């Protein structure tokens, strides 16, 4: 019998619209990881994880089209592509300024958006239109229906194979991630680690799980959870310095939160001119802490307020001012109310911004001077609102109101002008901008200098009104002003080849200046953080804090531990800096040979952050007898 003719059937060259959408969005996500996010990759396995981590999620989302009839498939695929692209793009824009990823609690802060218009505008780029190129391609494919795009539905066999493939990719991703980073999901304070290993989209699903979990914590909490925390706080309490306890008893307290002010500007110059001439002179007659660090999370300025007033850590997700504004706290204003003080916060912004009108009641403030208490017009405002010089000038009358009550006052000022994007009228600029590839850093020096001049003018007004000699004056930076996205320009200014993770940690220093009438100036070199400010102030005023539940220690205590914790779990001691999973020596900024040297401090940092989170999420202070209902 003659040989039979064999017909070869080649696979179809057509590809489904769903597969095209998945591939385009998968590649776009990976390219975004590499271009828009600064995700550190240490080996080939981490690169592989980063590459595959969006795939399973995208296959699940777009796989939903398998259950739609043909006439609805295209609409579903296009809608899913738009939604997922919007989530990715939202993270890109947020990352440009904060070097961080969005969380669900941040979305609850939508009331802030009206105030953020100019800042958000500066984060956008005309080239961002290319970010949605794949969506435009999908629209064209749906409209034109080219021959290479298949509309053939998946049969049940193909659907089963699809599901098995999704499961296989998911387990591969999780297996590799767990091998590369054990206990990954317990390190929820490190969002970069989560995104690197499980992907942006799965991170948001996990964030939603955390949100639901935290929402249930208050309802399930009881007083027994507070016992371990109280024992920890008592065991770590540092005795006050007898020479400083009560050193400012009965005096007014004027506290100034210096917007976005980092310590690298103190005693430094730009273009041959001093950046902060007033602060440089003021520290000569004050206690100046040059190793003091901010500890904020996503709440930025509101977080710094929360830390300073409560000696608790902020949350890793969102801002306490929004997530837990009606908790019961034992904050500085409440304590000072009981000690016979008048308490007020002064900030020329809308009272609802950062939910302050609600949160301040829980903190115990008797008065909030907000934008309604100031005269604001186009002439005296720039950027975020009332210029600092006008703010301080108009605030003098409010201080007189407080003084007229016949008792000492506690007044906290929050400045505005030195805020991203660091806009300043040309007539208000007294130094030339820096010259680098970062407009943000170039302008930053101008607004810092303006703020410095405004504070100097305010101090002169205090002297003129007779308030200076009877007031403790505290100045502190609330958070960083220059994010890691401007590292190249920062390296240029600091005359470094590059900004390393160690350098980034050290750049989180912010100024802390405490001026006490009659005391000589002194530079304090101890490592400290914003969490230490509350017990320090109360001790200066002669108010004991031993029964308070707080994680800071008096900065003047002789036996305090030089130790400060960042919200992402990084920490700094007198000798070591731990950041990005690496332990560095403070002597040379290089990784230490003994990687376990940071171990004991790492446990302490984790413990304090967890305890603080439990207090906030569970509203545990309501079970403490020293805390009164707001």
Residues recognised as catalytic: 301
DSSP-assigned beta bridge partners for residue 509: 293
146: exposed, middle or buried (C-beta count within 10 Å: 0-12, 13-18, 19+)? exposed
DSSP-assigned beta bridge partners for residue 345: 368, 412
DSSP-assigned beta bridge partners for residue 292: 528
The Cα–Cα gap between 192 and 26 comes to 19
Q: Which two tokens stand for residue 357?
A: 């009108």
Q: Tokens 């958000």 identify what position?
A: 120
The Cα–Cα gap between 17 and 77 comes to 8
- HEC string of 117-178 equals HHHHHHHCCHHHHHHHHHHHHHHHHHHHCCCCEECCCCCHHHHHHHHHHHHHHHHHHHHHHH
Q: Which two tokens stand for residue 162?
A: 């699809």
DSSP string, 288-346: EETTEE----TTHHHHHHHHHHHS----SSS-HHHHSTTS----HHHHHHHTT-EEEEE
The Cβ-side half-sphere exposure at 468, using a 13 Å CA radius, reads 13
271: number of Cβ within 10 Å: 11
Q: Tokens 């916060």 identify what position?
A: 345
3-state SS, residue 496: coil
Categorise residue 300: left if φ over 0, alpha if ψ from -120 to 50, beta otherwise.
left
């Amino acid at each position: 019998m003659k040989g039979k003719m064999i017909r070869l059937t080649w696979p179809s060259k057509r590809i489904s619209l769903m597969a095209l959408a998945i591939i385009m969005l998968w590649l776009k996500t990976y390219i975004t990881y590499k271009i828009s996010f600064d995700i550190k990759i240490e080996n080939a396995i981490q690169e592989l994880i980063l590459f595959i981590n969006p795939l399973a999620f995208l296959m699940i989302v777009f796989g939903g089209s398998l259950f739609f009839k043909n006439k609805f498939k295209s609409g579903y695929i296009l809608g899913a592509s738009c939604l997922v692209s919007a989530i990715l793009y939202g993270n890109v824009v947020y990352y440009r300024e904060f070097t961080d990823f969005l969380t669900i609690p941040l979305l609850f802060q939508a009331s802030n958006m009206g105030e953020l218009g100019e800042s958000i505008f500066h984060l956008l780029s005309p080239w961002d239109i290319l970010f949605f190129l794949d969506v435009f391609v999908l629209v064209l494919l749906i409209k034109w229906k080219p021959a290479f795009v298949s509309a053939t539905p998946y049969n049940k066999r193909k659907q089963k194979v699809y599901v098995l493939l999704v499961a296989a990719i998911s387990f591969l991703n999780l297996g590799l991630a767990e091998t590369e980073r054990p206990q990954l999901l317990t390190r929820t304070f490190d969002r970069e680690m989560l995104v690197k290993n499980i992907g942006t989209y799965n991170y948001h699903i996990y964030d939603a799980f955390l949100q639901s979990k935290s929402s249930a914590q208050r309802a399930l909490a009881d007083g027994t959870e507070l016992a371990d925390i109280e024992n920890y706080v008592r065991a770590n309490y540092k005795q006050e310095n007898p020479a400083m306890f009560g050193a400012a008893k009965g005096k007014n307290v004027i506290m100034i939160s210096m917007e976005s002010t980092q310590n690298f500007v103190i005693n430094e110059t730009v273009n041959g001119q001093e950046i902060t001439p007033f602060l440089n002179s003021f520290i000569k007659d004050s206690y100046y802490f040059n190793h003091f660090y901010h500890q904020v999370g996503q709440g930025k300025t509101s977080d710094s307020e929360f830390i300073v007033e409560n000696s608790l850590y902020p949350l890793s997700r969102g801002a306490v001012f929004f997530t837990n504004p009606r908790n019961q706290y034992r904050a500085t204003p409440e304590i000072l109310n009981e000690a016979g003080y008048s308490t007020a916060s002064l900030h020329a912004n809308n009272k609802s911004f950062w939910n302050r009108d609600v949160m301040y009641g829980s903190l115990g403030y008797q008065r909030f001077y907000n934008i309604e208490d100031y005269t604001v017009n186009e002439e005296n405002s720039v950027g975020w609102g009332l210029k600092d010089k006008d703010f301080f000038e108009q605030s003098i009358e409010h201080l007189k109101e407080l003084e007229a009550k016949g008792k000492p006052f506690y007044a906290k000022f929050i400045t505005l002008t030195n805020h991203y994007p660091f806009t300043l009228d040309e007539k208000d600029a007294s130094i030339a901008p820096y010259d680098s590839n970062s407009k943000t850093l170039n302008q930053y020096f101008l607004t810092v200098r303006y703020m410095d001049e405004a504070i100097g003018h305010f101090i002169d007004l205090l002297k003129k009104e007779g308030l200076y000699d009877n007031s403790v004056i505290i100045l502190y930076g609330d958070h960083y002003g220059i994010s890691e996205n401007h590292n190249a320009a920062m390296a240029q200014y600091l005359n470094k080849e590059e900004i390393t993770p160690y350098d980034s940690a050290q750049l989180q220093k912010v100024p802390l200046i405490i001026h006490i009438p009659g005391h000589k100036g002194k530079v304090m070199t101890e490592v400290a953080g914003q969490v230490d400010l509350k017990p320090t102030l109360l001790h200066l005023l002669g108010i004991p804090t031993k029964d308070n539940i707080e994680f800071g220690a008096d900065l003047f205590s002789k036996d305090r531990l030089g130790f400060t914790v960042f919200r992402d779990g990084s920490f700094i001691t007198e000798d070591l800096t731990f950041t990005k999973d690496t332990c560095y020596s403070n002597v040379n900024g290089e990784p230490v040979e003994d990687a376990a040297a940071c171990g004991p401090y790492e446990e302490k940092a984790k413990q304090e952050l967890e305890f603080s989170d439990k207090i906030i999420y569970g509203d545990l202070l309501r079970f403490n007898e020293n805390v009164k209902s707001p």
